[in-house]
Amino acid sequence: MREPSSQIVEQWMELQLLFKAHPPNLVLEYLDFRGGRNAKLTPELLAGYLDMTFEQASYMREEHASVVQGLPDYPQKAFAGRGIAMIGGGRYSEFLATTLGMIRLIGSRLPVEVWMKDRSEEKAAWCDDLLTQGAVCRFISDYIADMSVFTHYYQLKLPVLLFSTFAEILYLDSDSMPVVNPDAVFDAPLYIATGAVLWPDFWRSSESPYTPFITGRDSVKATAVPGFQTVEAGQMLWNKEKHWKGLCLSAYYNYFGPDYFYTLFTQGTHGWGDKDTFPTALRALGANWTLVAHHPQAQKYNDGTGTGHGLEIVRGTGAAMMQADPAHGEEFRSLFLHSGAVKLSPRRMLCTECVEDASALSAQERLEGKRVVFKGSFVDEWSGIHPQMRDGKRVFATKVEDELNDMGKLDTEKDIWRVMERVACVGAFNEEEICNRTRTHLEKAFGEVTRWHGGSEGRCR
């Protein structure tokens, strides 16, 4: 795979100068939404959250307009092809290893870029392991000299999207995995028509009434509750040529996200972070984009009443979130499983007492030689999946499933555990005891084991 273009390095430096010339004029302190995060949204509650005057909002409206005016054009020849971009580093690399394994197991041939903040976040020998799976490591710090602005993990998504070498990107969070081959999603009519596809979250927007005024969507402060859904940005389809300025405006929102825009867009309810910077930028520019029509579905925990091998989705909260394939019109067909509540990593699930890898520690912890130990769901009684790990049961509820993938009948959870056996037994994350426990769980819960071959490091007990 090609290296990120020097054009983008230069353009990022220009964007930084633009952003620094038009900073927010106050810090918006994060506070829980009045009435609680799940309170019914009313115009009065939304208007009363921020301590912001009309004069302050008017100043920011002018700054925002100046940024929009200065956004650069798409850099021709800087990008090429289609591919998947993901963010790993530290403990997120464990989740990403499972997701990448699923991407390959279900038949995807798309090239993959795995990004990390800097080289301190790389697990030893993992980048070499990734090359064998059609993936390559990238480090944001190789292309951005001053990393001090990135104080929060949420901010890292934007440099990944900007610097990725792909012209058309399927972005995936480390814990958002396809359950069927995603390659054809680039040919979905909705994507071809608009060039940007985003997936909805569970919640309605709680943005500040000043948001449409500041971002230029309206000439006055809003007086009604927003009528649109928030976005769940664990997976995104983005055509850079069609929506380059939208991406750059999202970068502005994330550059000043923790101290201003994240709170402006959510006001202390659900979803503080990068996720609503993307649709807000597209709306501000009047861009044509797609929000998948199907609402996300919750994946139910296994309570012992499953009837098959397919995943059972339910209304409400659950073990994970299922997102729909945009190519399937009125019918909800699962494309992604975003495992926010259950982190699909052999170590996180099966450790009794594991030492955190150095790549997952802070710079200060590494400097002090700190030894961080954690317990996995296998022994952690506070874990939501402790009974399933202890007893060798499925994590997710099941139903009779008619969907097919490239290998025949779908049994997503069994596929995930087959992948996790490879992660635990071969390559950079292999550990003998976790490998053995993973195989034992595969045998007890699913009646089979893959038996990958590889060395062991034996750091768990």
Tens digits of residue pLDDT in 400-423: 554 444 444 578 999 999 999 999
**Spatial separation of the C-alpha atoms in residues 177 and 312, rounded to whole Å:** 16
| Overall average pLDDT of the 179-190 stretch | 95
Task: Report the sign of the C-alpha dihedral through residues 115, 120, 123, 126, in that order.
Answer: positive
Q: Is the dihedral of CA 189, 197, 136, 177 positive or negative?
A: negative
- The amino acid sitting at 312 is E
pLDDT of residue 35: 62
Distances (CA, A) of 451 to 78, 321, 410: 43, 30, 21
pLDDT given for residue 440 in this prediction? 94
Location of structure tokens 């064998």: 132
Q: How many residues belong to the chain? A: 461
pLDDT score at 37: 63
The backbone torsions φ and ψ at residue 215, rounded to the nearest 5 degrees and listed phi first, read: -85, 0
Contact between 201 and 231 under an 8 Å Cβ cutoff? The reply is yes
Residue 354: CA atoms inside 13 Å, Cβ hemisphere, count? 28
Question: How many other CB atoms are found less than 10 A from the CB of residue 408?
Answer: 7
Confidence (pLDDT) at 450: 67
Model confidence pLDDT, tens digit, residues 67-123: 999 999 999 999 999 999 999 998 899 999 999 999 999 999 999 999 999 999 988
Do residues 264 and 214 touch, judged by C-beta distance below 8 A?
A: yes
Instruction: Compute the distance between CA of residue 119 and CA of residue 135 in angstroms, rounded to an integer.
Output: 17
- Alpha-carbon span 377 to 385, nearest angstrom: 6
Q: Which two tokens stand for residue 443?
A: 């045998």
Confidence of residue 138 (pLDDT cuts 50, 70, 90): very high
pTM of the shown model: 0.91
pLDDT band at 455 (very low <50, low <70, confident <90, very high): very low
pLDDT bracket for residue 182 (50, 70, 90): very high
Asked whether residue 361 carries a pLDDT value surpassing 80, the answer given is no
Determine what percent of the chain is predicted with pLDDT higher than 90. 61
Structure tokens at 88: 């790993």
Instruction: Point out which residues pair with 138 in neighbouring strands.
Output: 115
H/E stretch holding 47: helix 43-47
Predicted confidence (pLDDT) per residue in 385-397, tens digit:
888 899 999 988 8
